[in-house]
Amino acid sequence: MSPNARAISAKDEASSQPLLETSEESNEHENRKLVRSRHGDTFVRCNSADPYQAYQEPHTCAVKVNRSLNLHLGLPFNPRKVQSIRKVCRLLSKLLSFVENYLFAIWDKVPLRLRQIITMKAWSLYLPLHKLTLSNKTAIHPDASAEYHALSTIMYWGRLFPVTIKRMRFSLSQLPVWHAPDVYPVLKNVDKMNGNMYQVEQVLRDVQPESCTLLSALTQKQSDRPVQGYYIHGCSRKEGEKKVLFYLFGGAYLSGDAKGNIQFATKLAQRCDIDIFIPEYRLLPEYNFFDSFEDTIRAYSYLIQERGVKPENVTLFGISSGGGLSVRLLQRIAELQQESSCSIVQPELLQMPSGAVLLSPFVDYTTPKGSFKEYTAHDLIVNESVFEEGIPYLRTLGDDDARQRESPVNRSFANIPPLCLLVSEHECCYEQNIELVNNARNAGVEVDLAVWKYMCHVWVVLSAFLPEARSAVDFASDWIVKNTNE
């Protein structure tokens, strides 16, 4: 047997077994299960049809929760409110702005493998030092992992500096650096993808101009804009139909790209024995929300019509804003199923994907409130500076009524396929995610919910550093494997 054949065999054997080794404690009254993962962390799982209560204690709100947390690294003051500190940070930011283009370019010129080695070596030296000195005193709660405390100490200070779109985009472009092949090995005896990855650039045109395609039904116009992205061949099946994960990256509609998500997506492809398509979509402020959604629709149409993938073999996978696009795509397909004017749409485009995995989906575009506003005080990803830079762009959706109408959380969930949603109880999108879960369940949608404590927004992508993120990847992977094999 060849090495490659052995790898595939091991992969097939492993993918038939759950990746998440857990022990569970049930709470029948709350329909919740406390799950302890093989990585040592715990999270709550709720896959009942009942509404999920965001806060178990009565009269609890985000403001009250913040009062119970260890904010500002345990310092007795808020550094953002010390004018001298803010002035120094603004000065440093201005100085950095003169050279950041050169620094970013130089770092990007360093081979990716070397950047990965440098980053993970630095982490391996820093983590034990942090455990020895600051221990579990800097994250928002002592029960968070030692790794999360260490990461909090580093990432907290970003909130003191002004954030620009350029800096956001550079930061997210570095995601591959955090996912080296030798970090967090996925499956034993499987070191490489079973196949290739290539860039997709395909122009979509309607074969029959008079037909009502999924794209034209959405936008009321025709478009020749190329579909761009990456297709990862991760499925080892030699017979039968391949399964595909339709992966939508995050970045608050302001940043992120397909290329930056290849490494993380590759891990999912290996773990789930699945192909992955990561399309690009246009970003603000150069474009608008509707352009992002149009690109999503067109990429999905490409996958179904041009590549011939059946909808039942597709699982959506959305991170943050990509989660919002995933939900909106499902809702649009459900809407088209009810519109008689689209009776001539190709039938396969009116069939639902098999389901969707949503990681901290950003689904409420109305005026920020609750956890989305208050938890920026400690969220390591959506901190105060990111909030101040990004929130004004919500106004490009229109007035309050328009934003209410366009928010996926407020639209109908009727006839939506099963969902798997992962969220942190202490991240900015927590309350809107619980609202989504309850709205979906009220519409009869099957939702498998997993809730971690003390984590930041989209902590899942930090799996190279955090045990909580590794167990979240396990949970999502198990759901994908189960959903695609049913």
What the block records as the tokens of 201 is: 């650039």
Q: Which helix (H) or strand (E) holds 300?
A: helix 289-301
Tens of pLDDT along 155-174? 999 999 999 999 999 999 99
**Residue 355 is inside which H or E element, if any?**
strand 355-359
User: Mean pLDDT across the stretch 390-409?
Assistant: 89
**In percent, how much of the chain has pLDDT > 70?**
83
**Taking a C-beta distance cutoff of 8 angstroms, is the pair 335, 295 a contact?**
no
Cβ–Cβ under 8 Å, residues 23 and 36: yes
- Average pLDDT of the chain? 85
Tens digit of each residue's pLDDT (9 = 90 or more) over 262-320: 999 998 998 999 999 999 999 999 999 999 999 999 999 999 988 899 999 999 999 99
Checking if the pLDDT of 134 tops 60, the result is: yes
Which pTM does this prediction carry? 0.88
Residue with the bigger pLDDT between 276 and 197: it is 276
What's the whole-number mean pLDDT along residues 186-191?
A: 32
Cβ–Cβ under 8 Å, residues 409 and 435: yes
* Range 206-234 average pLDDT: 58
- pLDDT given for residue 62 in this prediction: 95
Q: For residue range 12-50, list pLDDT tens digits in order.
A: 333 444 555 555 555 554 578 999 888 888 899 998 889
Q: What are the tens digits of pLDDT across the range 224-275?
A: 678 899 999 888 776 668 899 999 999 999 999 999 999 999 989 989 999 9
Of 363, 306, 307, the closest CA to residue 330 belongs to 363
Beta bridge partners of 449: 46, 421
Distance CA 129, CA 135 (A): 9
Architecture per CATH, 1-486? 3-Layer(aba) Sandwich (3.40)
pLDDT tens profile 323-370: 999 999 999 999 988 875 555 556 667 789 999 999 999 999 999 999
Asked if residues 198 and 231 have their Cβ atoms less than 8 Å apart, the reply is yes
